[in-house]
């Protein structure tokens, strides 16, 4: 949805003569028209008008009304208690709304007239930073997208405010937006800002991948403004050093994302200190369709991580490591050298078992250092964050210590270890300032350690002594009045009071002043108690504000070290990930792949990492041998359920894993760098986008035909199923011919098909090979051997699979019966299109025509000739004879 359409809709009523509080509300709404306004009134956040209606619906709270508009209409109202803010906020943003919090910005007790209010914070799905609202540890990106009409590009930026990760790139603006979608799927942003007026265009291209598109004023999408802002933010003279001058639309997007983030957070966000160019040309491109089909980071069934590649191989210990793995896996590299550097590190950890175990022990339940650094910079790190930070820094230095005495460390580990900053001073500082187990919030005090600050200690003494004085006074009064049940109590409304039960009221002395009557007795005060009370109150009040001051000062000191903290966090992420990949390599018996620039692929005993991990019985490994100029296209036939899809996906996943720097599930693997993996797998209606199965199939096919290069890998599973069989067959065949092309090489292609007729292509196209999955037939049964062997098969065992699936036996028996008849020629499935369809349904051998041919006398004669016994003259005359008879026959 776009925010201007749905949330925080405009107001139906115009502010006329309304109460001063409502005027404040209207003012806030004027400033933040696309937000729901949470308007603080006493102990509640109230929402009004249409905001109230939305909130009542979304948060399931009661809708009432408050006062009337000048035109007599009731003002709808829905409120939530202030202490429950986080829960409700989190619900609203998870549903794609933006919320502006309008606070009382002066003390109501001191206010003259109406309390001043102002918006102090805007919470949007893409800019959440509070720990309470940011569950889980996955990255949460804000995206900005800006079309550049002249250059026909779209500039995009992704910013994770919680960690400071900031990446930009550009994609082509023409076409169906497939590149834009690919980027969006990779980063999965929670919100995308776009210039007003282009939201429909971008939304169409993104096709509902992102929950919220927020159109923003065009003024924030300005190149010059963006350059100035970024230079100021990163303290650099010009953007040259970032190497992004040739992508101005991306810079504009970056400027807009940062401006929007700063505006919503009311903070300069100084932990965002750099950005990196996300160069598609440096990565193996995995577009949205391929990521989905290969189930790399989310599964097809319910889009969770269950049963995905990432979930299977993730053995990292830290949130930073887990996020980094998700980044690497969706953007594998395309440089042999860079990949080998990562592989060296992983291999190192596979050999260093004790080191790896020690490291993983240290990192177990390691804190989210990256996000804590973000919160310190933003100023909302909690006291507990600081204690966690201190522990995390101590562990970081132990991690560094692990490598101290080691000589031969691979380059990428050495750099990471070197970048773990020595922040022992911060550990000491936090240790001196903060108690061991601080409360969650600073508001109620009890955070700063005794001995850290003299004045604080003095006030605490008064506060503590004050309580002792009260206890002493209670004892004293008990003795003076002789009332044993006399008690001095405290509540927030009356402060301290002496409570006397009904039965003892006659013994109350004259100097007791009555304050309140309760059901069980009466409450009194005396001058001595008032005196003590005022001293304690003053001390407590000062104590709280002093603690807050000291805490803020501590955060200011820590803020100066944010970039060192971030570097340390990044290093820990890399080390954790290398060790994690080594762990999964050992656990699943993966091997180090050999990378090469040649467009080849040689896999021995390859396995599908996810299917293998989920199978109780053993996975049957298979080989793959392909090259752009040799065995370029494999046509894979075989029974349903034989393992075709699993095989093709396993090949693709081995490439993804190899190029991201992981070991791979195989006995041996040589991987020629792939620039992009294309997949066209299965057939399902994309109901959400209103496109038919066949249309989706053809769109995906068009992308492949237009973009595949000699360096690409193409996986086509059952293309042409969504239309009539004749159509489908023709499309499949011409796609094959196109992929083969007339040149000497083409994209490495795996082509699984039901069209057995296609296996004939091998004879016509040089670089096509047939192979199929072996099946063992017994009298009664069919056993899938899951082994890929050369050559074609002409059976698909559809009826067998139908029976496995529990199709009722009369249906199975009838199908078998029909099949036998067709094969004996007793039943004709018909001709033309109908014939093709039924051939596949009934599984008739494709190499035979399903219709029994008429006897052919000429063929019979040809069969009977013994060529070797003919003289050349006899041969000539026979040929002439046959020719004239053939003419007579037609």
- In the complex, the smallest distance separating the C-beta of residue 700 from ligand ADP, rounded to whole angstroms, is 18
Minimum distance of ligand ADP from residue 795's CB (angstroms) = 13
Contact 717, 682 (CB under 8 A): yes
**Which residue, 35 or 620, has its beta carbon nearer to ligand ADP?**
620
The separation between CA 444 and the C-alpha centre of its own chain, rounded to angstroms, equals 36
Pairing status of strand 191-195 against strand 142-148? parallel
Closer by beta carbon to ligand ADP, 280 or else 637: 637
Q: Which is nearer to ligand ADP, 130 or 623 (CB)?
A: 623
Return the number of the residue (214 or 646) whose C-beta is nearest ligand ADP: 646
Kindly report the length of the chain: 890
89 HSE (CA, 13 A, CB side): 27
What are the helix (H) ranges across 440-561? 454-481, 527-559
Rounded CA separation 423/426 (Å): 5
Q: How far is the CB of 752 from ligand ADP (least distance, A)?
A: 6
CB of 886 to ligand ADP, least distance (A): 44
Report the residue number, 157 or 642, with the smaller CB distance to ligand ADP.
Answer: 642
Q: Which is nearer to ligand ADP, 374 or 643 (CB)?
A: 643
Query: Which candidate, 280, 330, 287, 336, places its Cα nearest to that of 305?
Result: 330
Comparing CB distances to ligand ADP, the nearer of 641 and 822 is 641
> How far does Cα 885 stand from its chain's mean position?
73
Give residues with Cβ within 8 angstroms of 396, minimum separation 6. Answer: 369, 420, 423, 568, 572
Q: Which of 750, 745, 473 shows the shortest CA–CA distance to 629?
A: 745
**Residue 544 CB-density burial (10 A; 0-12 exposed, 13-18 middle, 19+ buried):** middle
Residue 605 C-beta: closest distance to ligand ADP, Å: 11
**Pair 33, 196: CB distance under 8 Å:** no
The least CB distance from residue 737 to ligand ADP, in Å, is 24
In the complex, minimum distance from the CB of residue 648 to ligand ADP, in angstroms, rounded to a whole number = 8
Q: Specify the residue, 519 or 805, whose C-beta has the smaller distance to ligand ADP.
A: 805
The residue (of 367 and 655) whose beta carbon lies closer to ligand ADP is: 655
Residue 480's Cβ-count burial label (10 Å; 0-12, 13-18, 19+) is exposed
Q: At closest approach, how far in Å is the CB of 643 from ligand ADP?
A: 3
Could you tell me which residues come within 8 angstroms of residue 859 by beta carbon, excluding any fewer than 6 positions away?
none
Point out which residues bind ligand ADP (CB under 6 A): 611, 615, 619-620, 638, 640-646, 786
Cα–Cα distance measured from residue 447 to residue 434, given in angstroms and rounded to the nearest whole number: 6
Closest approach of ligand ADP to the CB of residue 775, in Å: 11
Q: Residue 645 CB, nearest distance to ligand ADP (Å)?
A: 3
| H helical segments located in 588-719 | 609-614, 644-660, 693-707
Write down the H helix ranges in 211-294.
223-234, 248-265, 288-293
Minimum CB–partner distance for residue 642 and ligand ADP (Å): 4
Pick the closest to residue 449 from 386, 391, 392 (CA basis).
Answer: 386
> What SS3 class is residue 673?
coil
Q: How far is the CB of 714 from ligand ADP (least distance, A)?
A: 17
Output the CA torsion sign for 741, 743, 747, 748: positive
Contacts of 569 (CB under 8 A, 6+ apart): 163, 320, 369, 370, 373
Strand 165-172 vs strand 153-160: parallel, antiparallel, or unpaired? antiparallel
* Residue closer to ligand ADP, measured from CB, 385 or 612: 612
∠ CA 179-180-181, rounded to 5°: 90
Give the nearer residue to ligand ADP in terms of CB position, either 396 or 840.
840
Cβ proximity to ligand ADP: between 169 and 290 the closer is 290
Contact 197, 227 (CB under 8 A): no
Q: How far is the CB of 704 from ligand ADP (least distance, A)?
A: 19
Helix extents (H) in 501-643: 527-559, 562-587, 609-614
Nearer to ligand ADP, 469 or 797 (CB): 797
Using the minimum distance from each CB to ligand ADP, give the nearer residue, 400 or 644. Answer: 644
Q: How far is the CB of 612 from ligand ADP (least distance, A)?
A: 8
Sign of the alpha-carbon dihedral angle for 257, 259, 261, 263: negative
Between 11 and 591, name the residue whose CB sits nearer to ligand ADP. Answer: 591
Residues 6+ apart with CB under 8 A from 388: 367, 372
Chain residue at closest Cβ approach to ligand ADP: 643
User: Burial of 355 by CB count in 10 Å (0-12 exposed, 13-18 middle, 19+ buried)?
Assistant: middle
């Amino acid at each position: 949805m776009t925010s201007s359409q749905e949330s925080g809709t405009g107001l139906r009523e115009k502010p006329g003569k309304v109460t001063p509080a409502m005027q404040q509300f209207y003012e806030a709404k004027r400033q933040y028209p696309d937000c729901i306004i949470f308007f603080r009134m006493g102990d509640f956040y109230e929402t009004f008008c249409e905001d109230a209606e939305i909130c009542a619906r979304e948060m399931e709270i009661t809708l009432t009304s408050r006062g009337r508009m000048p035109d007599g209409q009731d003002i709808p109202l829905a409120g939530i208690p202030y202490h429950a803010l986080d829960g409700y906020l989190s619900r609203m943003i998870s549903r794609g709304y933006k919320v502006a919090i309008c606070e009382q910005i002066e003390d109501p007790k001191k206010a003259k007239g109406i309390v001043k209010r102002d918006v102090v914070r805007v919470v949007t799905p893409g800019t959440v930073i509070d720990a309470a609202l940011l569950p889980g540890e996955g990255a949460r990106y804000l995206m900005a997208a800006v079309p550049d009409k002249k250059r026909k590009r779209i500039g995009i930026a992704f910013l994770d405010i919680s960690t400071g990760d900031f990446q930009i790139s550009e994609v082509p603006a023409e076409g169906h937006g497939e590149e834009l979608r690919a980027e969006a799927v990779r980063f999965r942003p929670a919100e995308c800002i776009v210039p007003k007026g282009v939201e429909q265009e971008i939304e169409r291209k993104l096709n509902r991948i992102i929950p919220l598109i927020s159109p923003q004023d065009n003024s924030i999408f300005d190149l010059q403004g963006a350059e100035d802002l970024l230079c100021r933010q990163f303290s650099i003279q010009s953007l040259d050093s970032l190497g992004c001058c040739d992508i101005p639309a991306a810079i504009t997007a970056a400027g807009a994302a940062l401006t929007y983030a700063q505006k919503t957070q009311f903070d300069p966000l100084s932990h965002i200190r750099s950005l990196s160019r996300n160069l598609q040309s440096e990565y193996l491109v995995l577009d949205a369709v391929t990521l989905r089909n290969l189930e790399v980071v989310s599964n097809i069934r319910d889009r969770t991580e269950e049963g995905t590649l990432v979930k299977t191989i993730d053995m990292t210990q830290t949130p930073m490591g887990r996020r980094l793995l998700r980044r690497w896996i969706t953007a594998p590299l395309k440089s042999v050298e860079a990949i080998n550097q990562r592989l060296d590190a992983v291999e190192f950890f596979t050999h260093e078992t004790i080191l790896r175990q020690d490291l993983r022990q240290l990192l177990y339940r390691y804190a989210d250092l990256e996000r804590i650094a973000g919160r310190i910079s933003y100023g909302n790190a909690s006291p507990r964050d600081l204690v966690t930070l201190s522990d995390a820094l101590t562990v970081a230095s132990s991690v560094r210590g692990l490598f101290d005495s080691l000589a031969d460390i691979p380059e990428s580990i050495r750099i990471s270890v070197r970048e773990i900053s020595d922040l022992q001073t911060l550990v000491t500082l936090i240790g001196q300032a903060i108690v061991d187990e601080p409360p969650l919030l600073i508001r109620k005090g009890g955070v700063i350690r005794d001995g850290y600050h003299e004045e604080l200690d003095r006030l605490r003494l008064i506060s503590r002594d004050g309580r002792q004085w009260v206890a002493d006074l209670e004892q004293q009064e008990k003795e003076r009045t002789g009332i044993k049940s006399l008690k001095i109590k405290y509540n927030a409304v009356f402060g301290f009071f002496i409570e006397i039960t009904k039965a003892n009221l006659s013994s109350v002395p004259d100097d007791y002043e009555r304050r309140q009557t309760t059901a069980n007795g009466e409450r009194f005060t005396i001058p001595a108690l008032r005196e003590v009370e005022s001293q304690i109150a003053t001390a407590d009040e000062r104590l709280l504000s002093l603690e807050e001051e000291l805490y803020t000062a501590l955060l200011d000191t820590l803020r100066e070290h944010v970039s060192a903290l971030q570097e340390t966090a990044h290093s820990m992420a890399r080390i954790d990930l290398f060790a994690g990949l080594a762990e999964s390599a050992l656990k699943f018996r993966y091997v180090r792949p050999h990378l090469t620039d040649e467009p080849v692929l040689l896999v021995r005993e390859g396995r599908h990492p996810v299917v293998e991990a989920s199978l109780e019985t053993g996975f049957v490994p298979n080989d793959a041998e392909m090259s752009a100029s040799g065995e370029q296209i494999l046509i894979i036939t075989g029974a349903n359920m034989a393992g075709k899809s699993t095989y093709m996906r396993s090949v693709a996943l081995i490439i993804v894993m190899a190029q991201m720097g992981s070991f791979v599930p195989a006995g041996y693997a040589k991987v020629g760098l792939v620039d992009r993996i294309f997949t066209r797998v299965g057939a399902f209606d994309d109901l959400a986008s209103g496109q038919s199965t066949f249309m989706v199939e053809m769109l995906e096919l068009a992308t492949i035909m237009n973009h595949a290069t000699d360096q690409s890998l193409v996986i086509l599973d059952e293309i042409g199923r969504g239309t009539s069989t004749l159509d489908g067959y023709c499309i499949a065949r011409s796609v094959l011919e196109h992929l083969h092309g007339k040149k000497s090489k083409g994209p490495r292609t795996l082509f699984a098909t039901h069209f057995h007729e296609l296996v004939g292509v091998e004879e016509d196209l040089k670089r096509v090979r047939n192979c199929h999955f072996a099946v063992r037939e017994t009298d009664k049964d069919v056993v899938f051997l899951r082994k890929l062997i050369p050559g074609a098969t002409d059976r698909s065992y559809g009826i067998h699979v139908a029976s496995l699936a529990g199709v009722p036996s009369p249906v199975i028996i009838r199908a078998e019966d029909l099949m036998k008849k067709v094969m004996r020629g007793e039943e004709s499935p018909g001709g033309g299109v109908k014939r093709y369809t039924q051939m596949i349904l009934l599984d008739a051998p494709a190499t035979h025509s399903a219709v029994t041919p008429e006897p052919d006398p000429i063929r019979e004669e040809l069969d009977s000739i013994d060529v070797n016994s003919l003289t050349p003259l006899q041969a000539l005359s026979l040929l002439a004879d046959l020719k004239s008879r053939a003419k007579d026959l037609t």
